């Protein structure tokens, strides 16, 4: 017989469990059905849908779903719950663990100050302390003046516990801009090893058009101020552009596939059916004898690297240099090649900045570097000098010299001047050269190109000759004999002159040796993001 009074408190925890379910339901509802419908009508995925589309199915383990703001009745019971506009947790990508944090624009426009900042900072600290890759889905309008009234105060900008500098030296960080990203949103994109924008959908700026109008009196659109063409072509702030959200997600997947979990690990080797000894006869004729003609640098990479393995970074910025992640016999590498179709392949300010960041990325995560060199020299002229090209070149040279990963250079055509000397580290951090240098028979090098050097050194003689053009040609031919790469090889200035068609086999053998060395040099570098 049960004579317990009816109003006795229950012995189980069903009321609390019911409240827990109610709060989780509210978190999953985000900004509500109406806000989500508007979002879908714009062709966008919600923060949670982006996470689901990105990670391995069923692998997302959400953390912090109960963070937000509750409203309570006079009796202390929960009336309603508004979740934080940050969704974060852990998951798997190709069975590899990582941390993902996504802004939810359906709640207060994704404002970084409208969220519980401890939540997204916690996610980043977790990635740092557990040494897991971090992926940010940024869709943040930055701060909001409306929140000042709620806070009753202002604050000094910044997040003391956000370890973004340290994080960049420990584990891969990738970010996607999904919408208008201002202030802190922009900073989170830039504090990444790889970043993507979506054309005509995402915008990145320090402050948006209304603030620019008020502060500077300038009328600009979001596209003009911070569209994908601005930051992937002109500023170089963002690496790549994508046509839509799913392509952006796929680009981040591909980037991470070349990266290790952290700096204490090596990138995974991928099984490949591509023959490491593949002989490519097309490489023997790809460099034209006429030095005034160009060639397709990306075709060279395709013929040398594992088939289908090339992933280009910053393709629209610093176009005189092509930088890619690729594989040789299944091993991840970073590869660079000059592009004669843009500024003749010269080292511009933008190309130098691109090179510096790429070399730092490869060095941080132990990716051996392959440099295919056709470098006519540092960009010259009034615009180049005013742009600070020489300083940018010096910074890139420092990045190369400080790199401690195995490095191989293949001079395929030109290597002249200061930029030509930056084909690889000469001394390296250990005080010994790590640069394994080879050349194709088409290679030429020196402190100055023969044509320009003859024009400068023999200016008066050429001008005084009965046939100035014939005399100039005669002098150039004489000096071209001295410039033969075989004469340099005689003095062991390069390790070998190799048949271009045999380049893949050479590099596939080298990369296996390179990874054996790299296994003994794991861990963080002395610097993180330069």
On whether the CB atoms of residues 109 and 125 are closer than 8 A, the answer is no
Report residue 7's pLDDT band, with 50, 70 and 90 as the boundaries: low
Structure confidence at residue 70 (pLDDT): 87
For the segment 204-233, the average pLDDT, to the nearest whole number, is 94
β 78-83/369-375 pair status = unpaired
Structure confidence at residue 498 (pLDDT): 97
Inform me whether the pLDDT recorded for 150 exceeds 70. Answer: no
Quick one: CATH architecture of 281-448+485-520? Answer: Alpha-Beta Complex (3.90)
On whether the CB atoms of residues 197 and 242 are closer than 8 A, the answer is yes
Tokens, residue 36: 């989500």
Tokens, residue 491: 């003095």
For the segment 261-284, the average pLDDT, to the nearest whole number, is 96
Higher pLDDT, 240 or 458: 240
β 496-497/435-439 pair status = parallel
What is the enclosing helix (H) or strand (E) of 186?
Answer: helix 184-190
Report residue 304's pLDDT band, with 50, 70 and 90 as the boundaries: very high
Inform me whether the pLDDT recorded for 110 exceeds 60. Answer: no
On whether the CB atoms of residues 202 and 196 are closer than 8 A, the answer is no
Structure confidence at residue 1 (pLDDT): 44
For the segment 487-503, the average pLDDT, to the nearest whole number, is 94
On whether the CB atoms of residues 141 and 102 are closer than 8 A, the answer is no
Tokens, residue 408: 């191989």
Q: 3-state SS string over 224-239? A: HHHCHHHHHHHCCCCC
Rounded Cα distance between 44 and 246, Å, is 10
Rounded Cα distance between 58 and 476, Å, is 68
Higher pLDDT, 407 or 162: 407
Structure confidence at residue 432 (pLDDT): 47
Phi, psi of 40 (to 5 degrees): -65, -35
Measured CA distances, 21 to 11, 12, 81 (Å): 19, 16, 12
Tokens, residue 490: 């005689």
For the segment 318-334, the average pLDDT, to the nearest whole number, is 98
Rounded Cα distance between 53 and 57, Å, is 8
Inform me whether the pLDDT recorded for 118 exceeds 50. Answer: yes
**Of 230-239, 313-322, 388-397, 467-476, the least confident:** 467-476
Report residue 233's pLDDT band, with 50, 70 and 90 as the boundaries: very high
Tokens, residue 207: 């402050």
**Of 198-212, 250-264, 312-326, 459-473, the least confident:** 459-473
Higher pLDDT, 450 or 220: 220
For the segment 100-127, the average pLDDT, to the nearest whole number, is 80
Cβ neighbors of 257 (< 8 A, separation 6 or more) are: 94, 268, 270
Inform me whether the pLDDT recorded for 47 exceeds 60. Answer: yes
On whether the CB atoms of residues 50 and 39 are closer than 8 A, the answer is no
Measured CA distances, 211 to 81, 154, 234 (Å): 32, 18, 22
Residue 182's nearest CA partner among 211, 145, 220 is 211
Tokens 């395709």: give the residue: 302
For the segment 122-144, the average pLDDT, to the nearest whole number, is 89
For the segment 376-385, the average pLDDT, to the nearest whole number, is 95
Residue 521's nearest CA partner among 406, 409, 370 is 406
The CATH code of the domain at 14-257 is 3.90.226.10
For the segment 411-420, the average pLDDT, to the nearest whole number, is 93
8: left (phi over 0), alpha (psi -120 to 50) or beta: beta
R_g of the chain computed on alpha carbons = 28
Asked if the domains at 14-257 and 281-448+485-520 fall in one CATH topology, the answer is yes
Residue length of the chain: 530
Q: What percent of the chain has pLDDT over 70?
A: 91
Residues 50-95 have pLDDT tens digits of: 999 999 999 999 999 998 888 898 988 888 888 888 999 999 999 9
Rounded Cα distance between 66 and 59, Å, is 20
Tokens, residue 80: 């309603």
For the segment 4-16, the average pLDDT, to the nearest whole number, is 72
- The H-assigned helical ranges of 161-271 are 164-168, 184-190, 209-216, 222-226, 228-229, 245-257
Residue 300's nearest CA partner among 283, 275, 322 is 283
Inform me whether the pLDDT recorded for 330 exceeds 80. Answer: yes
Rounded to 5, what percent of the chain is helix, strand, coil? 40, 20, 40
pTM for the model? 0.90
Residue 189's nearest CA partner among 121, 224, 238 is 238
Tokens 């300038």: give the residue: 218
Domain ranges of the chain: 14-257, 281-448+485-520
Higher pLDDT, 386 or 458: 386
List b or e across 277-305, with b for residues whose CB sees 16 or more CB atoms inside 10 angstroms. Answer: ebebeebeebbeeebeebbebeebbbbbb
Structure confidence at residue 475 (pLDDT): 82
Rounded Cα distance between 175 and 167, Å, is 13
Mean pLDDT of the chain: 90
Inform me whether the pLDDT recorded for 112 exceeds 90. Answer: no
Q: How many CA atoms does the CB half-sphere of 461 hold within 13 Å?
A: 11
Tokens, residue 529: 């993001």
Report residue 435's pLDDT band, with 50, 70 and 90 as the boundaries: confident
Higher pLDDT, 512 or 484: 512
């Amino acid at each position: 017989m049960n004579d317990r009074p009816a109003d006795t408190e229950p012995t189980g925890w069903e009321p609390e469990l019911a409240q827990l379910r109610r709060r989780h339901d509210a978190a999953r509802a985000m900004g509500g059905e109406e806000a989500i419908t508007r979002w879908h009508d714009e062709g966008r995925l919600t923060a949670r849908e982006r996470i689901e589309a990105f990670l391995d199915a069923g692998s997302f383990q959400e953390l912090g779903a109960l963070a937000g703001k509750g409203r309570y009745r006079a009796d202390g019971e929960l009336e309603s719950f508004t979740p934080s506009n940050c969704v974060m947790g852990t998951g798997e990508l190709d069975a590899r663990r990582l941390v993902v944090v996504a802004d939810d624009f359906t709640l207060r426009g994704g404002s970084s100050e409208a969220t519980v900042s401890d939540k997204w900072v916690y996610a980043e600290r977790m990635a740092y302390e557990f040494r897991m890759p971090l992926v940010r889905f940024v869709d943040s309008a930055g701060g909001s003046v409306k929140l000042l009234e709620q806070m009753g105060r202002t604050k000094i900008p910044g997040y003391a516990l956000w370890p973004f500098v340290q994080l960049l030296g420990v584990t891969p960080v990738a970010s996607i801009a999904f919408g208008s990203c201002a202030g802190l949103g922009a900073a989170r994109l830039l504090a990444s090893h790889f970043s993507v924008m979506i054309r005509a959908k995402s915008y990145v700026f320090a402050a948006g058009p209304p603030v620019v109008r008020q502060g500077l009196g300038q009328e600009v659109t979001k596209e003009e101020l911070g569209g994908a063409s601005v930051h992937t072509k002109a500023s170089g702030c963002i690496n790549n552009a994508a046509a839509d959200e799913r392509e952006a997600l796929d680009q981040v997947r591909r980037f991470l596939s070349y990266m290790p979990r952290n700096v204490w690990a090596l990138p995974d080797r991928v099984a490949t059916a591509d023959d490491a000894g593949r002989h490519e006869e097309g490489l023997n004729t790809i460099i034209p004898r006429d030095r005034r003609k160009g060639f397709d640098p990306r075709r060279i990479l395709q013929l040398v690297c594992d088939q289908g393995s090339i992933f280009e970074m910053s393709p629209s910025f610093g176009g005189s240099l092509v930088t890619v992640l690729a594989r040789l016999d299944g091993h991840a590498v970073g590869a660079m090649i000059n592009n004669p179709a843009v500024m003749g392949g010269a080292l511009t300010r933008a190309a130098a900045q691109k090179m510096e960041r790429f070399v730092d990325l490869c060095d941080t995560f132990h990716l051996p570097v392959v440099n295919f060199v056709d470098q006519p020299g540092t960009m010259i002229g009034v615009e180049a000098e005013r742009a600070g090209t020489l300083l940018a070149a010096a910074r890139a040279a420092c990045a190369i010299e400080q790199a401690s990963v195995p490095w191989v250079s293949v001079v395929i055509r030109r290597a002249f001047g200061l930029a030509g000397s930056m084909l690889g580290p000469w001394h390296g951090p250990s005080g010994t050269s790590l640069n394994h240098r080879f050349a194709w028979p088409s290679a030429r090098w020196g402190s100055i190109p023969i044509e320009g050097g003859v024009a400068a050194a023999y200016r008066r003689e050429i001008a005084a000759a009965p046939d100035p053009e014939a005399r100039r040609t005669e002098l150039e031919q004489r000096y071209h004999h001295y410039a033969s790469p075989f004469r340099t090889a005689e003095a062991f200035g390069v390790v070998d002159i190799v048949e271009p068609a045999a380049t893949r086999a050479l590099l596939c053998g080298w990369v296996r040796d390179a990874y054996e060395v790299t296994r003994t040099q794991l861990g963080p570098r002395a610097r993180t993001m330069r």
